[in-house]
Structure 1
Amino acid sequence: MVTIYDIAKKANVSPMTVSRVINNSPSIKESTRLKVEQVIRELEYVPNKQARSLTSKETRLVSLVIPDISNPFFTNIARGAEDKALQLGYQLILGNTDENQDKEEKYVKMLMSTGVDGVLIAPTGDGSAANLKKLTKRRIPFVYVDRTVPAVPADSVTGDNPATIKGLVQHLTALGHTRIAMINGPGSISIAREREQAFEEALKLSGLTPQPMYTLGTHFKKDSLSEIVSGLQAIPKQAFPTAILAANNFIGVNTLRALHELQLRVPEDVAVACFDDPDIIPDYNPFLTVASQPAYDMGFLGMQLLIERIQGTAPIATRRIVLPAEIIVRRSTVRE
């Protein structure tokens, strides 16, 4: 492996001079800089990041920690975050927690030992506060994407949950639905709380009274089908909802499957709309009416906020970016 001593020998300069050229020191004469850079290219020298970080205290490494890489929503967040990181000269380490707080803790400890400059994170829930406080204690900046933990303030980029849920409810009530159910994720996750509160407020604005039997709970992961089936079966047939609002894309897909198991047609018997787009579902017809969030932009902007924190160019006060969703009406709510 080529070292700065090899470069120094061939360029006939001191190792210290080579180090200053690599670190863009302004004290080096232009002629010397050009000579050393020529030798660096000839020997194809690659700087050792760990060694450089000892002096600069900067690794140029950032991390994105998300709860479910199999979800297209988080995959698109990852693409946006990676594109922005590379654009600004940083490399991205990806962590997938599987909605598991213990796994999240292991990632946080690993990232602290790796020496990342900052973390963009969609926390597993309110219990993530302990993990985030570890980052704060080590003075490692972090920014929230999609989800937040109120107990630990930080910059955030999220979707407009209240406005989006209200828009979906308005779409369903405009079609004449009065028995509308919501299938939601755990209340320990900020977006689940925001969406449930917005759901109840939207019903009231439409002159409807929220009823506990129409608010069903599950989780945001892919394997929620059995819980959804059980929850729907518990509703009396005479009061069964004519429309269901799913709080994320996996819940939306599994709601279609659950209704199929219960021998109910969509949208003839029950209309279905969901938060986030599951992308193409080739084995299901009709396609879902969705609120499509700008996931790529969330990752892109979240990484920008994070790197501004790392570089010390961000304001002292925490910043909050809220991005609107686009409601796309498809055949799961409107009959052709």
Structure 2
Amino acid sequence: MVTIYDIAKKANVSPMTVSRVINHSPAISEATRLKVEAVIREMDYIPNKQARGLVSKETKLVSLVIPDIANPFFTTIARGAEDKALQSGYQMLLGNSDEQTDKECRYVDLLLSSKVDGVLIAPTGDASLPNLRKLAKRRVPFVFVDRYVEGIDADLASGDNVETTRELVAHLAEQGHRRIALINGPSGISNARERRQAFLDALVLSGLEACPELLIETHFRQDSFSDIVRTFMALAPAARPTAIVAANNFIGVNTLRALKEMNVTVPDEISVACFDDPEPIPDYNPFLTVAAQPAYDIGYMGMQMLIERIEGTAPARSRKIMLPSTLIVRKSTVKA
């Protein structure tokens, strides 16, 4: 691999001179610059960004750490974040924590050693606090996307969990559903807490009672919901839910699968609505009624806020941007 020292030897200059040419220092004559650049092209040299960072104090590297790369919602966030990073002259490193705090910790350690300029992160949950404190201690700017952790003052770009949940519940209530279930993520994740509380508040606004047996907490990535659905269907007919709100797209799709396995027809026997808009599901009819979050815009805005932090153009106080969702009524919800 060609190094800065190879370039210096070939051009008959010092390694520091080569470094200054790479970093566009004005303290280099035009003749020297042209000579060094010619050698760089001849030897097909790609500058090492960390070496450049020793001079510029910036690597022009940012990172996005998300909890589930298999989830189309986070994939779309990544696309928005990357597009904004590239537009602003940064390159983005992607980390996937798999909803595992220890894996997230390893990524944070790697990013610190790589000297990235900043981190956009959707934390695994409240247990991410020590990982975030590492970034804060090293003064690495970071911005939350989709989720946040209590006790950490940082910018946040997310969907509007409260209003979105209210819209989903209001839609089902308007359809005449009186017993609405919620299949939610873990309470240790901020957006799951917000959705649960908003769900309870929305029931009150619609004049409905909250039924503890219809409030289920599970993992956002769990593959099988057979036990959950079986529990619902084991209730007395009058006590069963007539509609289910799924707290993300994986929960929504897997709930449909579990209902199909039990020969429970959607929407004739039960309606289903969910957060996010999953990929098309060719084996399932009807399509899901969803509250589609603007995932691309969330990623784009989150990266914009991060770059403003890096470049010192952000306000002193932290900012929270919550983007509205779009309710898309399809065939999985009907009148009770």
Give the direction of change, closer, same or farther, for the CA distance of 1:130–1:15 in structure 2 (3 Å limit).
closer
Report the equivalent of 1:255.
255
Matching of residues 120-159 of structure 1 within 5 Å: 120-159=120-159
Contact 1:247 1:275 in 2 (8 A): yes
Report the equivalent of 2:76.
76
Q: Per the alignment, in what secondary structure is the counterpart of residue 119 of structure 2?
A: strand
Q: Which 4+ residue blocks in structure 1 deviate beyond 6 angstroms?
A: none
Give the direction of change, closer, same or farther, for the CA distance of 1:234–1:122 in structure 2 (3 Å limit).
farther
Q: By how many angstroms is 1:50 displaced? A: 2.5
Q: By how many angstroms is 1:19 displaced? A: 2.5
CA deviation digits over 1:122-174, x for unaligned, max 9? 11111111111111111111111101112112111010011111111111111
Matched residues in 1 for 2:17 and 2:134: separation? 39
Report the equivalent of 2:103.
103
Matched residues in 1 for 2:58 and 2:40: separation? 22
Contact 2:224 2:258 in 1 (8 A): no
Q: Per the alignment, in what secondary structure is the counterpart of residue 331 of structure 1?
A: coil
Contact 1:218 1:224 in 2 (8 A): no
Report the equivalent of 1:45.
45
Letter in 2 for 1:274: C
Q: By how many angstroms is 1:227 displaced? A: 4.2
Matched residues in 2 for 1:36 and 1:235: separation? 78
Matching of residues 193-208 of structure 1 within 5 Å: 193-208=193-208
Contact 2:232 2:241 in 1 (8 A): no
Matched residues in 1 for 2:198 and 2:20: separation? 57
Matching of residues 310-321 of structure 1 within 5 Å: 310-321=310-321
Give the direction of change, closer, same or farther, for the CA distance of 1:7–1:131 in structure 2 (3 Å limit).
closer
CA deviation digits over 1:3-45, x for unaligned, max 9? 4455456656554433322211223344543444344333332
Contact 2:170 2:202 in 1 (8 A): yes
Letter in 2 for 1:333: T
Matched residues in 2 for 1:52 and 1:143: separation? 25
Q: By how many angstroms is 1:256 displaced? A: 1.2
Matched residues in 1 for 2:9 and 2:111: separation? 37
How does the TM-score come out when normalised to structure 2?
A: 0.92
Unaligned stretches of 5+ residues in structure 1: none
Matched residues in 1 for 2:6 and 2:116: separation? 29
Structure 1 residues 7-16 or 89-98, which shifts more? 7-16
Q: Per the alignment, in what secondary structure is the counterpart of residue 327 of structure 1?
A: strand
Q: Please state if 1:191 is matched with 2:173.
A: no
Q: By how many angstroms is 1:261 displaced? A: 3.0
CA deviation digits over 1:53-91, x for unaligned, max 9? 233332222221111111111111111122222222222
Give the direction of change, closer, same or farther, for the CA distance of 1:292–1:252 in structure 2 (3 Å limit).
same
Contact 1:216 1:231 in 2 (8 A): no
Matched residues in 2 for 1:55 and 1:123: separation? 32
Report the equivalent of 2:300.
300
Report the equivalent of 1:175.
175
What is the aligned residue count? 335
Matching of residues 214-229 of structure 1 within 5 Å: 214-229=214-229
